[in-house]
């Protein structure tokens, strides 16, 4: 008898589970052996299941939960093994008299749960050490037809399983749906591209399954290769919502064991976030040069950025993934040690390339080496900075990866020196001058590299540090970024910086959601002065709030306050305001320093305050908590307190 039929038979037989709140504790519970007939419907779930002989030593207990509204009490039958560890729980979580969840345990910890909806088991959750995915059986066949929640790593594991089993339906459950595309509100042209890829899935998946037909059922998922996720603001692509995606994800797998083991890649293409789930927009393909390979740029003009595993690197890759899985130990020393160890492994992989024609493949690994040494150097490790310098000299001037290393070297060098300057203004000014010179040289030497936009933005920022005397140079830097990299992600921030530097006398636009879920437009305050204050809880602006309150009280009825919060989490802002109330509107969008509000007005540091006139035009970007009282009174022609007393 199959597992699926057993489940429904038992649900019918164990009618007393449907009335747990009414069962007398004196009544005999179902036997442990009967309850242990339940096994996970989904394949591959590892749970603790005592043998038939061990079942006689297991116990079944009735567990009551906290009372719910309406005098309902959630209950559960709990099956424990001879050691007292839980192996199963049959829940009535709503107290309605019926099993609505079956929880499975491994080594005493819950790892998987099956949910009963409408009298059928049709939802499946992996929890705890087993993961975070949540699938739904759409048509009652016992297979997952859609995912309510699933991480990128779990998507890639499902993809590999679909390929190994030649199961197109399993793959289709991971694809973005038409309804989800409609909800994202992407531009029509982008939707058409995605729909074209989705339409090709049956043919491309069949080809992939054929190309990888030699893979054994024992093929192991090793690693999912992802770069940093990209957040695309809704206003940047004219969509209904922000879009978060990973570009060109790749699965590293291992076929076989020992000396004959083979490691290779499967290209997934882009992953797009929809709620708590990540979706595929195309079929997987063998290798790291999938359907979107033309969009992947590497360190050189002839390099696609494709990750290639050199012969003999399998053990190094394994060590690398083991290190990544453990992650760095807490604290600065832990981060340094982690990155130095990672760099050492990556260097050994890079050394396996001995042929000149393999240079582009080797460079991809060298870039990762540079990232590790740069991360360690940013934490203050002098040896890591030295290794960056040594790599730069070894590679020589003609290496396509040289600009990549050079930018990380000067950035790490600046970070280390900045940490040592302290509050010595003269030393800080001298350091900023040196930083400006190095950035200028980098932009001049490498006008078109992947890091050039960042260098230009940094150049604009350091010029702003020197105040009005270098403001013109700051504007030139931002204009250069917009001219040479108009489609780059930093272009919007550069435009925001330009708008901020020239806000006086111009209409100040500020619209968006508030912390309490409403919509705000600063034009609603036409006829009043407005103090716009950018802040975050971590700068502890309580003192500024107090001074601003006092200033607004002095011009009561003639001015308003608008806070723009830049915290990473709305909860941080809400919590801070509960402890430090500030009257007025509080705007918020997620993203922290990269939130649309911060980008739109080129906010580089906090706090920042703008004074807007009754006509809606910018008055000043140089106001602060110490002088806002005077500025408001001057703008609104309100006498100061001393004058009124006289």
**CATH code assigned at 438:** 1.25.40.10
Q: Are 264 and 287 in contact (CB under 8 A)?
A: yes
Over residues 500-546, the pLDDT tens digits come to 999 999 999 898 888 987 888 898 999 999 999 999 999 999 999 99
pLDDT, residue 307, reads 57
Q: Contact 107/48 with Cβ under 8 angstroms?
A: yes
Give the burial string for 11-37 (b: 16+ CB within 10 Å, else e): beebeebbebeebeeeeebbebeebbb
335 and 252 within one domain: no
Closest listed residue to residue 485, CA positions, set 497, 477, 473: 477
Q: Is residue 404 part of a domain?
A: no
What is the structure's pLDDT at 260?
A: 62
- Which residues, including other chains, have CB under 8 Å from residue 395's CB and lie 6 or more apart? 366, 401, 402, 405
pLDDT at 168 over 50: yes
Alpha carbon of 257 to those of 92, 158, 322, 439: distances in Å?
Answer: 45, 21, 17, 49
My answer on whether 24 and 122 are in the same domain is yes
- Residue by residue, DSSP assigns 50-82 as --HHHHTT-EEEEEE---BTTTB--EEEEEE-T
Whether residue 402 is predicted with pLDDT greater than 60 in this model: the reply is: yes
| CATH number assigned to the domain comprising residue 173 | 3.10.450
Q: Is residue 405 part of a domain?
A: no
- Give domain status of residue 415, yes or no: no
Residues 442 and 334 in one domain: no
Q: What is the mean pLDDT of residues 226-254?
A: 80
In the listed set 295, 329, 361, which residue is the last one of a domain according to the structure?
Answer: 295
Q: Which of 256, 255, 279, 257 is nearest to 268 (CA)?
A: 279
CA distance 250 to 626: 53
pLDDT over threshold 70, residue 10: no
Question: 131 in the Ramachandran plot: left (φ > 0), alpha (ψ -120 to 50) or beta?
Answer: left
Q: Which long-range contacts (CB under 8 A, 24 or more apart) does 207-216 make?
A: 208/163, 208/266, 208/283, 208/284, 208/285, 208/286, 209/163, 209/166, 211/286, 212/163, 212/266, 212/286, 215/163, 215/164, 215/253, 215/255, 216/255, 216/256
Domain with 542 in it: what CATH number? 3.40.30.10
Residues paired with residue 617 on neighbouring β-strands, in sequence order: 507
For residue 414, being part of any structural domain is answered with no
Across 120-124, 194-198, 351-355, 607-611, least confident range: 194-198
Do residues 462 and 439 lie in contact, with contact meaning Cβ atoms separated by under 8 Å? yes
Q: Among the three residues 252, 275, 295, which one is the final residue of a domain in this structure?
A: 295
**Do 211 and 199 belong to one domain?**
yes
Residue 629 lies in a domain: yes
Which SS3 state, helix, strand or coil, does residue 412 take?
helix
Pairing of strands 559-565, 585-588: parallel
Question: Residue with structure tokens 């059986």?
Answer: 137
Q: Which of 263, 351, 368 is nearest to 314 (CA)?
A: 263
pLDDT reported for residue 410: 96
Most confident of 110-119, 273-282, 419-428, 514-523: 273-282
Based on the fold, state whether residues 497 and 478 are members of the same structural domain.
yes
154 and 290 co-located in one domain: yes
What DSSP element (H or E) covers 198?
helix 188-199
Indicate if 21 and 119 belong to the same structural domain: yes
Domain annotation covers residue 123: yes
The answer to whether the beta carbons of residues 22 and 97 sit under 8 Å apart is yes
Mean pLDDT of 341-357: 90
Summarize the confidence of residues 133-145 as an average pLDDT.
87
* Tally of domains in the chain: 5
Which among 382, 372, 374 has a CA at the least distance from the CA of 347?
372
Identify the pLDDT of residue 19.
39
SS3 523: helix
- pLDDT reading at 186 higher than 80: no
Query: How confident is residue 323, by pLDDT bands cut at 50, 70 and 90?
Result: confident
Q: 462 and 556: one domain?
A: no
Q: 369: which residues sit within 8 A by CB, 6+ positions away?
A: 343, 346, 347, 350, 391
Q: Please identify, among 71, 103, 131, the residue that sits at the C-terminal boundary of a domain.
A: 131
Predicted confidence at residue 116, as pLDDT, reads 82
Containing structural domain, residue 548: 511-645
Q: Phi and psi (nearest 5°) for 626? A: -75, -25
Domain presence at residue 140 = no
Query: What is the pLDDT of the chain when averaged over all its residues?
Result: 85
Separation of alpha carbons 37 and 136, rounded Å: 23
In a shared domain, residues 492 and 519? no
Strands 559-565 and 529-535: parallel
Q: So what's the pLDDT on residue 299?
A: 32
Confidence tier at 16 by pLDDT (50, 70, 90): very low
- The answer to whether 116 and 11 are in contact (CB under 8 A) is yes
pLDDT of 96 above 80: no
Are residues 287 and 304 part of one domain? no
In a domain, 400, yes or no: no
The more confidently predicted of residues 329 and 17 is 329
Q: Do both 153 and 231 map to the same domain?
A: yes
Question: Which DSSP state fits 21?
Answer: G
Q: Once rounded to an integer, what is the mean pLDDT over residues 472-496?
A: 91
pLDDT surpasses 60 at 298: no
Mean pLDDT across 355-381: 89
| 462/351 same-domain check | no
């Amino acid at each position: 008898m199959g597992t699926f039929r057993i489940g429904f038979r038992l649900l019918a037989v164990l009618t007393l589970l449907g009335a747990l709140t009414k069962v007398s504790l004196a009544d005999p519970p179902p036997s442990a052996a009967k309850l242990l007939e339940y096994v996970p419907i989904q394949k591959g779930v590892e749970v603790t299941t005592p043998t038939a002989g061990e079942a006689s030593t297991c116990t079944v207990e009735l567990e009551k939960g906290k009372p719910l509204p309406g005098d309902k009490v959630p209950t559960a039958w709990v099956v424990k093994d001879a050691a007292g560890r839980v192996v199963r729980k049959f829940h009535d979580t709503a107290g309605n008299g019926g099993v609505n969840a079956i929880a499975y345990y491994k080594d005493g910890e819950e790892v998987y749960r099956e949910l009963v909806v409408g009298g059928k088991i049709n939802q499946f959750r992996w929890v705890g050490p087993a993961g975070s995915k949540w699938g739904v059986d759409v048509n009652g066949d016992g297979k997952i037809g859609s995912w309510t929640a699933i991480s990128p790593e779990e998507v890639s594991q499902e993809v590999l399983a679909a390929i190994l089993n030649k199961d197109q339906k399993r793959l289709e459950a991971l694809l973005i749906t038409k309804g989800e595309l409609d909800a994202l509100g992407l531009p029509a042209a982008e939707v058409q591209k995605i729909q074209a890829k989705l339409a090709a899935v049956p043919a491309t998946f069949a080809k992939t399954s054929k190309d990888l037909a030699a893979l054994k059922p024992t093929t192991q998922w090793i690693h999912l290769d992802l770069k940093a996720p990209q957040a695309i603001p809704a206003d940047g692509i004219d969509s209904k919502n922000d879009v978060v995606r990973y570009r060109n994800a790749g699965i590293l797998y291992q076929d076989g064991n020992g000396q004959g083991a083979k490691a290779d890649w499967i290209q997934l293409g882009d992953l797009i976030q929809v709620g708590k789930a990540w979706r595929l927009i195309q079929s997987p393909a063998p290798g790291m040069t999938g359907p979107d390979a033309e969009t992947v740029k590497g360190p050189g003009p002839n390099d696609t950025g494709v990750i290639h595993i050199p012969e003999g690197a399998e053990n190094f890759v394994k060590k690398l993934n083991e290190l990544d899985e453990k992650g760095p130990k807490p604290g600065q020393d832990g981060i340094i040690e982690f990155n130095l160890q990672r760099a050492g492994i990556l260097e050994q992989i890079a050394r396996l390339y001995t042929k000149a024609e393999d240079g582009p493949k080797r460079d991809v690994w060298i870039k990762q080496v540079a990232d590790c040494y740069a991360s360690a150097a940013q934490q203050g490790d002098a040896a890591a900075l030295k290794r960056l310098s040594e790599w730069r000299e070894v590679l020589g001037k003609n290496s396509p990866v040289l600009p990549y290393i050079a930018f990380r070297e000067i950035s790490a060098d600046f970070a280390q020196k900045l940490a040592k300057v302290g509050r010595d203004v003269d030393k800080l000014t001298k350091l900023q001058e040196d930083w400006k010179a190095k950035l200028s040289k980098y932009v001049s030497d490498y006008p078109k590299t992947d890091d050039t936009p960042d260098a230009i933005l940094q150049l604009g920022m350091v010029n702003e540090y020197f105040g009005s005397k270098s403001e013109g140079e700051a504007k030139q830097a931002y204009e250069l970024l917009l001219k040479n990299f108009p489609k780059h992600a930093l272009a919007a921030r550069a435009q925001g910086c330009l708008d901020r530097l020239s806000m006086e006398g111009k209409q100040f636009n500020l619209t968006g959601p508030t912390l309490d879920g409403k919509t705000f437009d600063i034009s609603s305050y036409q006829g009043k002065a407005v103090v716009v204050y950018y802040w975050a809880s971590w700068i502890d602006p309580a003192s500024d709030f107090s001074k601003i309150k006092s200033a607004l009280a002095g011009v009561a009825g003639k001015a308003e306050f608008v806070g723009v919060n830049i915290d990473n989490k709305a909860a941080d802002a809400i919590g801070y305001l509960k402890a430090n109330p500030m009257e007025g509107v509080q705007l918020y969008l997620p993203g922290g320093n990269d939130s649309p509000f911060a980008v739109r007005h080129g906010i580089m540091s906090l706090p920042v305050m703008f004074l807007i006139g009754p006509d809606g035009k910018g008055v000043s970007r140089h106001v602060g908590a110490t002088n806002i009282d005077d500025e408001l009174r001057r703008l609104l022609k309100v006498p100061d307190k001393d004058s009124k007393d006289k």
